[in-house]
Amino acid sequence: MSGEIQVTSATQRTQDDDEAIGAVKEPPEPAPAKPARNAQGATLNVFSNAFLVLWVVMAAGPLVWVMINSLRESADITGSPFGWPTSISLENFTNAWSDANIGKYALNSLIILCGSLPGTMLLGSMAAYVIARFSFRGNRVIYLLFAGGMMFPIILAVVPLFFVMDNFALLDTRHGIILAYIAYSLPFTTFFMTAFFRTLPGSVAEAALIDGASHTRTFFQIMLPMAKPGLISIGIFNFLGQWNQYFLPLALNSTDPDKALLTQGLAELSVNQGYEGDWGALFAGLTIAMVPILLVYMVFQRQVQEGLTAGAVK
Amino acid sequence: MANDVRAVDGKPTGPAPRKDGERTSFGDYLLFAATLVLPPRFTPDRVRYDRRYRTLDKYRFISWFLLVPLVLYAILVISPFFQAFYYSLTDWSGFSSDFSFVGMDNYERMLDDSDFWASVKNSLLLLVVAPLVTLGLGLFFAFMLQAGGRHKKSEAISGVRGAKFYKIVYFFPQVLSVAIIGVVWGAMYDPITGPINEVLRTFGLGSWTQNWLANPDIAMLCVLFVLCWMFIGFYVVLFSAAMGSVPKDIYEAALLDGASRPTTFFRVTLPLIWDTVQTGWIYMGIQALDGFAIVHIMTINAGGPGNSTLVTPVYLYKKAFDAGQAGYATAVGVVLLVITMIFAAIMMLLSRRERIEF
């Protein structure tokens, strides 16, 4: 858990810094050691800010460019890549939404996520709880089995996976994709939640059991609510991971275009636009896919950053 | 309901000691077995008041809770993984169900397969260069954010104004789908409607304009750039979090001793956050080794022009699903796994340092 704690403290620290800087408006004072450091600090300041601003343009520029172009007509875009929309028309968006089926694909992605995300969280926490808090024969083996799954690239398993899914008649079905998402999210979810459940105090669970609650009840009514911070972190991690998944749908869900997910739909749109030259619809489709995620991120940016950094590097 | 708490946690509760005189009839065992699959509330009284009920209740809970996750995981993750090793030794096409065992033929074939080697070369290039660039820039920006600010009377080192804003924006690519990024950058690189060429023209560098992704000499660099672009923000956030947790008095001491900022970075900050850099390095390496979605979406014919942007995962995918050589594709996958393992092992060895506590 140390990763998460570090992240929290650091974020607070930077916030403090910001406030402190905002409060102190006076010109830079000489540092205690040497007066020369002051000049050095000032040059460094300009230098560092220039680089930082440059990367803001680099990071956000392409996204802003896409959003602006989504409001322009395809002919204008072909004429000049840069430029402001001459008139605000939402035609591109309606084209993307209905003709290019972005609306349908987004709905497909949402349906999958409604099954896979709760499923991942529930099954992952169940396995993690048992592994973290009970000792039984094979505990260590099961833990290593899950943890080991984080190391291996999905691509290695994809060919046999395709045929396993085929044998169970799960190929190109919604529940099949949901199950695959859950299965491939389990290693990290279980690993993370095991560590989290180990940090929770055991006395509360014991009290519940003395009061006559069953193990199941203790888990759902006592331990799971106590694990909420961990669930939020791993939930964000899985939400973004599953919403953004491209590889599994491509391999397991590619025959029926009606069931395509948003990522597949965008890739498809990008190919088609090459033939039809409908740049406007492509940019509108991208905007539709980007903006909601970016808005959610900006609202919950602290939790998202913590969730992903605590999640991705352990 | 279970009325017993002793089963939770703690020492392993082994099977209850059995006394010779005690009657445990076959019927009892049947009853116990039945209890294992019943919900707790339907436990027969006879079992509930048995001395061994506590253990039984615990194992009933454990097996019920582990059943679904383990079965799902075993069928969809573990079994394909082990099947891959087996299929890599066969000449399976993937289309029909008959195949024969060919031993190491697939691996021998790989030795003479120039497409495969081209893909390995590109993957290794990503594996080495992408982490270097990404982590280097990540560290640079993170240190700027944490220590690039003006000096104040009370603080030895301070962050720049608006550090939080920078971190929010830098993180944008990380929350977006790889598919979106692939499409956006495909449009960015477009020779006619893409803004990159337009910017070059605006600055009078018209001769530098390119058909970026169609030029075999440059296409791979374009992929590399996008891969770094995606991840830099993540490492800025990660590293500035790690730097933020370093106590400020350490910096103060360094500055009092007259250390310049570069010296502070290399002698104080970097050693103190080395653990984070090391894990980040391995993570980024594995991410770069993949690069599937970017190449698959962005480049011409997924890996073109020619083989100039072909990476091993894309090659595997094409062999398995387009060329119908499932056996050969899994063999490529096994080699990819070996490369990943070797990379992780080398990085662990190379970057091993004494851990510094603070």
B101 within a domain of the structure (yes/no)? no
Task: Give B 157-176 residues with CB within 8 A of chain A.
Answer: 158-164, 166-176
Cis peptide before B12 (omega within 30 of 0): no
Residues of A in contact with B260 (CB under 8 A): 40
pLDDT in tens, A285-296: 899 989 989 998
Other CB atoms within 10 Å distance of the CB of residue B66:
22
Residue A9, pLDDT score: 42
pLDDT above 70 for A39:
no
Q: Which of B4, B163, B340 sits opposite A17 (nearest CB)?
A: B163
> In terms of domains, do B53 and B127 share one?
no
Q: Chain A: residue nearest B240 by CA? A: A10
At A92 the pLDDT is 81
> Which pair of structure tokens corresponds to residue A22?
């905002």
Angle, vertex CA B101, rays to CA B99 and CA B103, nearest 5:
145
Q: Check whether residue B155 and residue B279 sit in a common domain.
A: yes
Q: Are A49 and B160 in contact (CB under 8 A)?
A: yes
Phi and psi at residue A269, to the nearest 5°: -60, -40
Chain A contact present for B336, CB below 8 A? yes
Domains of chain A, by residue range, sit at: 45-89, 100-309
Per-residue confidence band for A124, with pLDDT thresholds at 50, 70 and 90: very high
Average pLDDT, chain B: 82
How far is B323 from B326, CA to CA, in rounded Å? 8
**Residue B251 located in a structural domain:** yes
CATH architecture of A100-309: Orthogonal Bundle (1.10)
B298 found inside a domain:
yes
Same domain, B330 and B240: yes
Domain-located, residue B105: no
Which candidate, A269, A169, A199, places its Cα nearest to that of A1? A199
Tokens of B61: 């809970």
Instruction: Report the predicted TM-score, pTM, of the whole model to 2 decimal places.
Output: 0.83
Q: Is A297 a residue whose pLDDT tops 50?
A: yes
Task: Note whether B141 and B169 are within 8 A (CB).
Answer: no
Number of structural domains in chain B = 2
* Highest-confidence segment of A12-21, A156-165, B100-109: A156-165
Please report which confidence band the pLDDT of residue B216 belongs to, taking 50, 70 and 90 as the band edges: confident
How far A214 CA sits from the closest chain B CA (Å)? 5
pLDDT of residue B226: 93
Q: A293 vs B336: CB contact, 8 Å cut-off?
A: no
Alpha-carbon distance A196 to A128, whole Å? 9
- Tens-digit pLDDT profile for residues B153-207: 556 667 777 788 888 999 999 899 888 999 999 888 888 778 888 888 888 887 7
Element (H, E) at A152: none
Q: Is the peptide bond before B305 cis (omega within 30 degrees of 0)?
A: yes
Q: Is residue B4 part of a domain?
A: no
Shared domain check, B275 and B335: yes
CA distance A160 to chain B (A): 5
Q: Assess whether B80 and B160 both reside in one domain.
A: no
Measured in angstroms, the CA of A90 and the nearest CA of chain B are apart by: 20
Question: What is the domain range of residue B220?
Answer: 113-351
- B301: closest chain A residue by CA: A271
Establish if A96 touches chain B: CB-CB under 8 angstroms: no
Q: Are B288 and B232 a contacting pair, CB within 8 Å?
A: no
CB < 8 Å from A in window 66-95 of B: 66, 68-70, 72-73, 75-81, 83-84, 87, 94
CA angle B269-B275-B276, nearest 5°?
A: 80
Other Cβ atoms within 10 Å of B43 Cβ, number: 22
Measured between CB atoms, does A127 come within 8 Å of chain B? yes
Rounded CA-CA distance B358/B351 in Å is 19
Residues of B in contact with A33 (CB under 8 A): 255-256, 258
Same domain flag for B62 and B189: no
Distance of alpha carbon A187 from alpha carbon A149, whole angstroms: 5
Of the candidates A186, A243, A301, the beta carbon closest to that of B69 is on A186
Enclosing H/E stretch for B323: none
Based on the fold, state whether residues B131 and B48 are members of the same structural domain. no
How far CA A104 is from CA of A19, A84, A259, A288, B50, in Å, comes to: 45, 29, 9, 12, 58
* Torsion angles phi and psi, residue A89, rounded to 5: -125, 140
A308 touches chain B (CB under 8 A): yes
How would residue B224 be classed by pLDDT, with cut points 50, 70 and 90?
Answer: very high
The answer to whether residue B3 scores a pLDDT higher than 70 is no
Does B214 share its domain with B125?
yes
User: Chain A contacts of B337, Cβ < 8 Å?
Assistant: 152-153, 156
In A, residues 251-270, which contact B (CB 8 Å cutoff)?
251, 262-264, 266-267, 269-270
CB atoms B168 and A301 under 8 Å: yes
In this predicted structure, what is the pLDDT of residue A153?
A: 80
d(CA A139, CA A121): 20
